[in-house]
Amino acid sequence: MKQVMKVLVMLVIVLVVLSGRGELTGQASAASDKGPREVGVGLYLLSMGKLDITSGTFNVDFYLTLKDTQPIEDKSFEVMNGRVSKQDLIETKNDSDGKFVKIYRIIATQSTKTDLRKFPFDQQSLPIVVESTQEDNTQVKYVPIADETGIDADNSFPGWTIKGWSTKVNEHNYTVFNQQYSQYVFSVDITKIWFNSFIKTFLPVLFTILITLVIFIIAPDKVTTRLEIICSLLVAIAMFHISIFNQLPPVSYATVADEFMFLTYFILLACICLNVYIYKLLSSKDSRMVSFDRKAKVGLFSCVPAAYIVFFVFLI
C-alpha cells in the first residue's frame, strides 16, 4: 500500500512539473507572437552649439523621455553619434497607463557627416541618435512620442537658419554579431544664411572682376599697365581662394565656391591673353590694334556679366 502511495505521489509531481513547463512554453510562445516590446522615446532640444565644419561636431543640450511597460534602467540606452559629457535623471514617474517614465537631461558633443558640395550655400542635417544597449530589436522597438518631441522656441543656431526637425526609427545592423538594435533618430535641418554667405564669399570677387573690366577703359597704348594690374588681381584672387579652402576639411569634390573661383580664373586669364595680344599688335604697330581693343571691350562687357548670371541662376 505504501508503495502504491509513493507511486501516486511521484505521478502527481511529474504531472505538476510537466504542466508548469507547458504554461511557461505557452507564455514564451505568446510573448514571441506579440513581437518586440514598444518603448516610447521623446526628445526636446533646448539648445545647439556652433557647427564646426572641419570636424563635423556640434554641442547639444536636450531632454530625453523614455516610456516602457517595464522598469527603465539608466544604462538601457546610449547616444550613438556623440560623447555625453553630462547626463542627469530629472524625473521618475508612472503615467496614466501605468507605464514607467524617466526623463533625462543630457549635454553631449555630437558628430555628423557634412556635405559641402553646395558650400557656401550648403544645407546640413544634424542628427541625435539614441540606441538600445541591452535588448535587440526582437525584444525592444523604439516608438517616437510626438507630444514630447520638439525644439525650444528660444533655440538659435549662429550663422544658420533652422528649417525644421524630424524623427525616425532605424534598425542598426551589427553584421559581426548577427544582431539588430532599434535606433531613434532626431534630426535638425539647417541651411546657411544666403545673404551673409554671398557677401563674405562672392561679393569681394565680383568687385575684383568689376575693377578688371574698368581697367579696359585705359588706352590700349598703356597695355602694360593693364597687365600689371590684372596679374596683381589674379594673385589676390588666388590668395582669397586659399583662405576659403582653409575653412573646409579635405574633400574629394569641388564645391560651389570652387566652381565660382574656377570661372573667375578663366575670365582673368582671358583678360591677360587679350592684353598680351594687344601688346603684340602695339609692338608691331599694327593698325588693327584699336579695332581689336574695341571688340575686346564689347565682348568682355557683355560676356562676363552673362557668365556670372548663368552661374548663379543655373548652377547654384
Residue 102 carries which DSSP code? E
Of the candidates 118, 130, 141, the residue with the CA atom closest to the CA atom of residue 260: 118
What distance in Å separates the CA atoms of residue 132 and residue 155, rounded to the nearest whole number? 28
Read off the pLDDT of residues 213-224 as tens digits, 9 standing for 90 and up: 999 999 999 999
pLDDT on residue 50 = 87
CATH level 3 topology of 36-192: Acetylcholine Binding Protein; Chain: A, (2.70.170)
User: What residues have CB less than 8 Å from 209, skipping those under 6 apart?
Assistant: 264, 267, 268, 304, 308
Helix, strand, coil % (nearest 5) of the chain?
45, 30, 25
Q: How many CB atoms neighbour CB 124 within 10 A?
A: 22
Q: Where are the domains of the chain?
A: 36-192, 196-314
pLDDT on residue 21 = 44
pLDDT on residue 141 = 95
pLDDT on residue 3 = 55
Read off the pLDDT of residues 19-57 as tens digits, 9 standing for 90 and up: 444 443 444 344 445 689 999 999 999 999 889 999 999
pLDDT on residue 228 = 95
Assigned CATH for 196-314: 1.20.58.390
Let me know if the fold of 36-192 is the same as that of 196-314: no
Which pTM was predicted? 0.80
Of the candidates 16, 81, 54, 107, the residue with the CA atom closest to the CA atom of residue 248: 54
* Cβ-count burial 171-183 (b if 16+ within 10 Å, e if not): eeeeeeeeeebbb
SS3 188: strand
Residue 147 carries which DSSP code? G
Of the candidates 231, 211, 304, the residue with the CA atom closest to the CA atom of residue 263: 304
What distance in Å separates the CA atoms of residue 297 and residue 175, rounded to the nearest whole number? 65
What values do phi and psi take at 41, rounded to 5?
-130, 130
Of the candidates 243, 274, 258, 236, the residue with the CA atom closest to the CA atom of residue 311: 258
Of the candidates 51, 71, 68, 70, the residue with the CA atom closest to the CA atom of residue 60: 51
What distance in Å separates the CA atoms of residue 241 and residue 178, rounded to the nearest whole number? 48
pLDDT surpasses 50 at 241: yes
pLDDT on residue 243 = 93
What distance in Å separates the CA atoms of residue 108 and residue 43, rounded to the nearest whole number? 14
